[in-house]
Structure 1
């Protein structure tokens, strides 16, 4: 599986949310609206979009196995590292791009 066309769009930080990502899988499937959050230890985590149906939360799209999840995470986290950790705008001890 090939993860390509990785786009990460920074957003105004809100409760750990720092960006929205999109990727293309195997030049065949476009996945968007993937939320990128920071964890307390400074690493990243992904949340895939859901819709509330009654009192149940239903996922629009998400990886169904660990390998696919890991490939998407690696690609998005690499892009996040380039964006956020490679920035020269060091405010309050954190490297963040201008929003």
Structure 2
């Protein structure tokens, strides 16, 4: 299934890190679905990132607005988004070092 999975237009907005949250990501899935407001957290092990998909809270209940149900697809999305996060954070580090 992942061979036909297309994850494009990945964007990442970093924030001041707080309790593992490092920013928010968005992407286009299969050229058909825009997925936004995906929280990007560092893993508890400190290696890599994990994604938390948006939910809508109504009263006391939360409803997932998007969540991959196939773990292979979820992992593919996580890998692509993580690669973009690493790339952008590395660029920011290099820019700061050059100053």
Unaligned runs of 5+ in 1: 91-99
1:48 aligns with 2:53: yes
**Which has more strand, going by share of residues?**
1
| Cα distance between partner residues in 1 of 2:72 and 2:45 | 23
TM-score (norm 2): 0.81
| Cα distance between partner residues in 2 of 1:65 and 1:39 | 20
**Which has more helix, going by share of residues?**
2
Count of matched residue positions in the alignment of Structure 1 and Structure 2:
90
Which aligned runs of 4 or more in structure 1 are off by greater than 4 angstroms?
none
- Residue 23 of structure 2 corresponds to 19
After TM superposition, give the deviation of residue 67 of structure 1 in Å.
1.9
Q: Cα RMSD over matched residues?
A: 1.6
